[in-house]
Structure 1
Amino acid sequence: MFWLLFCIFFAACFGAGITGGLFAPGPWYRQLTKPWFTPPDWVFPVTWMVLYICMAVAGARIAMAPNNGIAMAFWSLQIAFNGLWTPVFFGLKNIRLGMAVVGFLWLFVLSSILAMWQVDLIAALLFVPYLLWVSIAAALNAEVWRLNPEVARNPPEPPR
């Protein structure tokens, strides 16, 4: 049962993660001024793969646990906002709205940890590196906004 649930949760993570391929950074992002702590490009897919595996394991563990309703609801919210950030930031090229999305994502990841803590300690701990990574992503988004105020105020028109 665990492996079936793991595959279902991993499919949800894969669905969120595939937006990275559909809305790749591209020239617009490369031209932005980025903070000194921006990781190299190769770090992102490696980190996300590890995090998605941890998230799927945590989801499967929570799904098998009794009294899991709140934790499952927050798991669902966080994966929805996880999949939303890339299309907003890279697809719409909207830095400010991206900041709002990553802010909600951070809140839902933290809420997931707190809810999971009540149900399965290991699942909660598996989300801690994710919260750290989303904190880094939020700091990157905020700094890109600060360093590129004109682009943030006037995002380019999305292609039709």
Structure 2
Amino acid sequence: MMKTLVTNLRYQMTKHQKILALLGWILTCFGTSAIGAAGSLQAKSFYAGLTQPDWAPPGWLFGPVWTILFAMMAIAIWRVCSIATRNESRIATLLFLAQLALNALWSWLFFAWQSGSWAFVNIILLWGLIVSCIVFFWRTSKLGSLLLVPYLCWVSFAAMLNYSLWQMNTNILS
């Protein structure tokens, strides 16, 4: 009975609405990427000028990785919102938009404002919100949840890199 009630509360989107929703999420995710990129205009030379750990990836790797991750993120939130109840969709959207905001802010903190400490605080909060999204998405869409796992792995790696760069470059990254 309860399962039937929950199913009835789900909003059924038409195929046209689903396509528009996917395009909207793609634009939202890549719009966030553009905001972050605006804070990273000098990232290439800045990153190259930092003392780096031996395991730091080359600067050229970040663009392709983030492109794939933002595409996967858009599909993840779209998948969840296209099958969730309205309430689940609202919560998923708020969690997702919050982590997107922190994602964009990180580039500004680290590259534009050269604050290794605040960038590290930001990335830890971002990590927690990604975990929250994964857990929340799991209830509605296992696929949507799993699509965020590579993002969590990359942000985990980025957090370690952020911390290492901050510690190795305290004269630059206050």
TM-score after normalising by structure 1: 0.89
Which of residues 46, 57, 69 is equivalent to 1:39?
57
Q: Which residue of 2 aligns with 1:63?
A: 81
> What is the alpha-carbon distance in structure 2 between the residues aligned to residue 21 and residue 77 of structure 1?
18
> What is the alpha-carbon distance in structure 2 between the residues aligned to residue 19 and residue 44 of structure 1?
15
TM-score after normalising by structure 2: 0.82
Residue by residue over 1:50-89, the C-alpha shift from the partner in whole angstroms, topping out at 9 and shown as x without a partner, is 1111111111111112233322221111111111111111
Indicate how the Cα distance of structure 1 residues 9 and 108 shifts in structure 2: closer, same or farther if over 3 A, else same: same
Q: Which residue of 1 aligns with 2:31?
A: 15
Alignment gaps of 5+ in structure 2 = 1-16
Task: Within 5 Å, give how 1:93-112 maps onto structure 2.
Answer: 93-112=114-133
> What is the alpha-carbon distance in structure 2 between the residues aligned to residue 113 and residue 89 of structure 1?
25
In terms of mean alpha carbon deviation, does 71-80 or 11-20 score higher?
A: 11-20
Q: Which residue of 1 aligns with 2:134?
A: 113
CA contact (8 A) 1:15 1:83 kept: no
Alignment gaps of 5+ in structure 1 = 154-160
Q: Secondary structure at the match of 2:55?
A: coil
Q: Is 1:143 the equivalent of 2:164? A: yes
Larger radius of gyration: 2
Identity of aligned residues (%): 32
Q: Which residue of 2 aligns with 1:158?
A: none
Alignment: residue pair count = 153
Q: Which residue of 2 aligns with 1:3?
A: 19
CA contact (8 A) 2:51 2:169 kept: yes
